[in-house]
Chain A
Amino acid sequence: MNQVLVDGEATGEVFVLERPLSFWGGYNPETGIIVDAAHPQHGDSLAGRIVAMPHGRGSSSSSAVLAEALRLGTGPAAIVLGEPDQIVITGVVVARMLYGVECPVVVGAIPIDARGEWRVSRAGPEPVE
C-alpha cells in the first residue's frame, strides 16, 4: 500500500538501506555520505538518490541533519519508508518551508535488490522503464 507523507515527484538512482540509519551520527550532511562505522553501507552516498528505509532510527537530531543535507544539496531525492516516521517527515517539511527544497516521502516497498533509476510520485515508487 502506498501512502504519500510529503507530496512531490522525484527521479534518481535507487538506494536501499540494508539496515536503518540514524541521520544524526550516521550521515555527513556536508558530503551526503554514510559515516556510521557499523553500518553495512558505510562510505556510500545518499545524495540525489531515491533512498528506501524500513523505518527511522536513533537520534531526534536526525530531522536537523536531514534538513541541513537538503539545504546543501547532499540530501536524498526522495525517501521511501516502510512505515511513517515523524523525525524524517519533520526534516523534509522544514527544508521545504525554509528553502523550498522538495524531497517527496512515501510509504511503500522497494525490493532489497532493486537497482537503476526509480521514480517516486503519488503513485508510489516505481522503476523508470
Chain B
Amino acid sequence: MRLTENDRALLAGDAGEAAAMAMNLVVTVGEAMGAASLIDITGAHVDSCLYHGLVSLEFAERLAASGGKVAVPTTLNVASLDLLHPDLVRRDPETTKRAKALMDAYVAMNCLPTWTCAPYQLHDRPRFGEQIAWGESNAIVFANSVLGARTNRYGDFLDICCAVVGRVPAFGLHTDEGRRATVRIVVNVPDRWLDDDLIYVALGHLLGQEVGTEVAVVSGLDDRADEDRLKALGATAASSGAVGLFHVAGVTPEAATVDEACQGKSPTRTLTVDETALRRAIADLSSTLTRLGAVSVGTPHASLQEIQRIAHLVSGRQTRVPFYINTGRDVLADAELAGLVAPIESFGARFVTDTCTYITPIMEVPAGAVMTNSGKWAYYAPGNLGVDVVLGGLADCVESAAIGQIVLRGLR
C-alpha cells in the first residue's frame, strides 16, 4: 500500500503507541482488502462499545491506556446497558461491570456518548459525499444510501482505529466505481401496497438475500419511501445479506434515474419483485404463533416521527402486554420537549435508550410471541433471546397490545 509520510510516521509510533496500533490494523486490513492507499475521513461511528466478551474490553482498554484519542468527531453505537433506565436491565453484575468499563473506555478516547444505532437521526449528520468510517450495519447502509455519504462496512475494532488515525483504506464504497448499481430490482405491486410499512421490511429481506454484497437499484417505489421506511429496508437488507448501499430510483441521492445509479452501464441482472415474493418474505420473518407475549418497536432506534405516530396511535388506550420502544437518548429528549413521552408512558409503554431489547436482557420471558415492526429484530431475536416473533406494522403493534391479541390488518 502507498502510504504518505504522515501515515508512515503514525505507523512507526511517532504519534504514540495507540496511533501506531490503530494504523497497524488499518493498514493490515486495507492491504488484505487490496486498497492502494488511505484517504481522510471527516467522522466516524463506532460499534465497538457493545460488549461481546473480554476481547471487546481488552482491545479498547489497550488503545485507551496507550493514549488513544479520536482524530475526527465520533459517535457511539448502542451499548450493553441502559444508563438512563438501569432498572430495566437484568444482567449479572460482572458482565455489567465490564460493559460499563467498555463504554467508559470509548468515552475516554473522546467519542461522543450518543449510544444510538441510528446516528443519522442526530441533529448533526454526514452530508452528501462526505467520507466517513461507520460501524453498525443499519447505520452504514443508511449513510451510504439515504445520505449519500461514503463508508465501507466497518466491523468492531477497525471503526475506532479509523477514527483514531482519521484515515481509511480507499476502496469499495468510498469510490465512485464501488457505488455503481450492478443489479436492478423492479418492484411490481399494486400502488396501495406502497403505503404499507411492511412492504419495505419485506423488500429489504429479499434484497439482502438476492444481492449479498452487490449494489442494487430499486425501481417502482416513490417518495412514500420516507426515511423511516428506508431505514427499515436497509436494516433488514443488512441483516439478511451484506448490503452496504442500495439506490432507489427517483428517491435516493445518487439515483435520479436507474441509469444514473448504474453510471450509464447495464445492470448484470434484473429481478422482479411481486406480491407473492413480498408475502413470502413476511412469512419468512414471522412465526405462526397466535398468542401475544410482548411488543418491541424501534430497531433501529425509533425516530421522532415514529414516536409521534406512536403517541397518536396510543391516545386514550392501555397496553395489556409489556411494550418496549427502543430509541436514542437525544431523540427521547426531543420527544419529551414535544410532549410525546407522557401519553406514551400512560399507555404503559417503556422507553429503552442506549441499548436495544434484542441485545440486552430486558424482557421477561414472554408468555407468547413478541410482536415487532422490525425486520432486523425479527431476524436476530429468535437466536439471541429464544423468542418467537410476529412481524406487523406499527399500527398493528399498538392495536394488538391494546386488545392483548395479535391483530394483523396489514398485507399478508
Residue in A closest to B386 when the chains form the complex, CB atoms = A37
Task: Say whether A54 faces chain B, with CB atoms less than 8 Å apart.
Answer: yes
- Interface residue tally on B, bucketed by range: 35 or more
Taking the nearest CB of chain B, how far is it from the CB of A117, in angstroms? 26
Please count the residue pairs between chain A and chain B whose beta carbons lie under 8 angstroms apart in the complex: 135
Q: Per DSSP, are chain B's interface residues mostly helix, strand or loop, or mixed?
A: helix
| Contact mask for chain A residues 61-94; partner B; CB cutoff 8 A; 1 contact, 0 none | 1111101100110000000000111110111011
A26 touches B55 (CB 8 A): no
Contact partners of A56 in chain B: CB under 8 A: 213, 242
Contact partners of A72 in chain B: CB under 8 A: 53
Task: Say whether A35 faces chain B, with CB atoms less than 8 Å apart.
Answer: yes
Task: Say whether B47 faces chain A, with CB atoms less than 8 Å apart.
Answer: yes
Q: When A6-B32, A55-B213, A86-B154 are in contact, do A20 and B241 touch as well, CB less than 8 Å?
A: yes
| Contact mask for chain B residues 47-60; partner A; CB cutoff 8 A; 1 contact, 0 none | 11010111110110
For the complex, give the distance between the alpha carbons of A83 and B213 in Å.
9
Residue in B closest to A28 when the chains form the complex, CB atoms = B383
Task: Say whether B135 faces chain A, with CB atoms less than 8 Å apart.
Answer: yes
Contact partners of A25 in chain B: CB under 8 A: 379-380, 383-384
Task: Say whether A57 faces chain B, with CB atoms less than 8 Å apart.
Answer: yes
B383 touches A35 (CB 8 A): yes
Q: When A55-B242, A58-B242 are in contact, do A87 and B155 touch as well, CB less than 8 Å?
A: yes
Taking the nearest CB of chain B, how far is it from the CB of A44, in angstroms? 14
Q: When A84-B32, A86-B154 are in contact, do A94 and B52 touch as well, CB less than 8 Å?
A: no
Which residues of A (17-63) have their CB < 8 Å from a CB of B? 20, 22, 24-26, 29, 35-38, 54-63
Task: Say whether B196 faces chain A, with CB atoms less than 8 Å apart.
Answer: no
Residue in B closest to A57 when the chains form the complex, CB atoms = B242
**The residue from B62, B155, B157, B212 contacting A54, defined by CB atoms under 8 A apart:** B212
A61 touches B239 (CB 8 A): no
Residues on B lying within 8 angstroms of A by beta carbon are 21, 24-25, 28-29, 32-34, 47-48, 50, 52-56, 58-59, 62, 135-137, 140, 152-159, 208, 212-213, 238-242, 284, 379-380, 382-384
A-B residue pairs in contact (CB < 8 Å), sample of 11 = A29-B52, A38-B382, A56-B242, A60-B137, A64-B50, A67-B156, A68-B52, A89-B29, A90-B157, A93-B28, A97-B21
